[in-house]
Amino acid sequence: MARPKPLSGFPELLPAQRMVEQAVIDIVRETFELHGFASIETRAVETMDSLTRKGEITKEVYVVRRLHAEPGETGDDLGLHFDLTVPLARYVLENSGHLQFPFRRYQIQKVWRGERPQEGRYREFTQADIDIVGENTLADHHDVEAPLVMLETLERLHGQLGLPPARMHVNNRKLSEGFYRGLGIEDTAAVLQRVDKFDKIGPDAVTELLTDELGLSGQVAAKCVELATICTEDDSFVGRVRELGVHSEMLDEGLDALAQVINAARIQVPGRMVADLKIARGLDYYTGTVYETVLVGYERLGSISSGGRYDSLATDGKRSYPGVGISLGLTRLLMPLLARGELAASRSVPSCVVVAVDTEQTRTTAMRVAAALRGRGIACEVAPKADKYGKQIRYADRRGIPYVWFGGVSGEVKDIRSGDQVAADARVWTPPKADARPRVIAGGQ
């Protein structure tokens, strides 16, 4: 059989890389749970109606179809979810009678998008989401809470594992929409869609889109672009917007809401959040604060964490379920760092010890040693062959395993890095904490 070719856009990690990913997931999960978010997992497929019901969805949905469909069965009514927010809306509607509101959930799961594969963009990838969902109403302070939880998560990844620091760019859809309405623009969604391309195509091209495609006057288009250029690390953006001479009640609401988020972040995570008034977010279900996050030094990857406020994502006709959420693209965050060797694991297996085998007749003795070590939480494996000790040591070295055990439960343990070998009892011996589990090494060190 010929060697299979990898499928573009469907990354698969080597064992050592997977250990890095698991270490990241552990910190993400722990941080989310510290803030009271409960874990859920939704099915991989949703109906095509639910996947496409929120206006223009630019992501290509993978359709799920049975190979041997029954007569009359079209098979085109199911698709793989492209994010975790649409499944959440359906989950809340189906289970609202069993949930306590505000419902705080986190979800770490794979999603699928039919995009053109490139660095930072994949067809199958893992996301980690948090959302706070209310019943009919949801307090505005949750718009402040959600991004701060994500920033705390990213700060922990930076401090504990050495990932690059992150900076979150925040805006408010009410601010932008209120500004456009103050200019007399009716189709504010169309303007938001064009402004959302600001970073990709630049101010001149955005101005051209606003005038040529939407028919805005040059003066009005210039005001829209001038708003998009405002970016501050404090609430001074309020004064700069006021200087543009545009007024509306919705604009005032957006300015106040965004100032609350920025001022809270300056206290809790100084230097990690900026007010960036060109941030729009393309999906039309966002109605308030919106977030996009970049890795410092890796801005070319685009946003690795994004989200916002949505007031009408889910409704059953009698009750509505507003929410605020933010998503971390784990695969987008990790794959470029792993590919460059800027994050690595100290070894490719969880084992800390190889228990040597004298002869195949005494393998049961080695297995008893391994059981004693595992009973105390020390990961180990028994040598696969009763080779000469030198070969068993080389076996451990190739796998990055630091210790080899010789003899019975009361035997000797060798640190193969230093060559030190001491008497030890498997019922009490403990490796140094740094050796007990594989460690994440930053910077290829």
DSSP 47-101: EHHHHH-SS---SPPPEE--TTPPTT----SEEE-SSSHHHHHHHHHHHGGG--S
- Angstrom CA distances, 37 to 90, 216, 325, stand at 18, 45, 12
**83 annotated as belonging to a binding site for a ligand:** yes
Contact 189, 316 (CB under 8 A): no
Tokens read off for 335? 């794959």
Helix (H) or strand (E) holding 306, with range, is: strand 305-315
Give per-residue burial for 312-326: e unless 16+ CB within 10 Å, then b: ebbeeeeebbbbbbb
Q: Alpha carbon 372 to chain centroid distance?
A: 38
**286 annotated as belonging to a binding site for a ligand:** yes
**286 closest CA partner among 160, 189, 178:** 189
Contact 112, 87 (CB under 8 A): no
Torsion angles phi and psi, residue 224, rounded to 5: -60, -45
**285 annotated as belonging to a binding site for a ligand:** yes
- Angstrom CA distances, 295 to 90, 148, 258, 334, stand at 32, 16, 22, 11
Tokens read off for 344? 């690595």
**160 annotated as belonging to a binding site for a ligand:** no
Give me the amino acid identity at 130: I
**113 annotated as belonging to a binding site for a ligand:** yes
Contact 322, 137 (CB under 8 A): yes
Contact 149, 104 (CB under 8 A): no
HEC states along 40-54? CCCCCEEEHHHHHCC
**85 annotated as belonging to a binding site for a ligand:** yes
Beta carbons within 8 Å of 47's beta carbon, 6+ residues apart: 77, 78, 79
Give me the amino acid identity at 409: V
**131 annotated as belonging to a binding site for a ligand:** yes
Instruction: Find the distance separating the first CA and the last CA of the chain, reported in whole Å.
Output: 38
For 405, half-sphere exposure in the C-beta direction (CA atoms, 13 angstrom radius) is 33
**415 annotated as belonging to a binding site for a ligand:** no
Torsion angle, alpha carbons of 66, 71, 76, 80, to 10:
-30
**330 annotated as belonging to a binding site for a ligand:** no
* Known binding residues: 83-85, 113, 127, 131, 281, 285-286
* Known binding residues for L-histidine: 83-85, 113, 127, 131, 281, 285-286
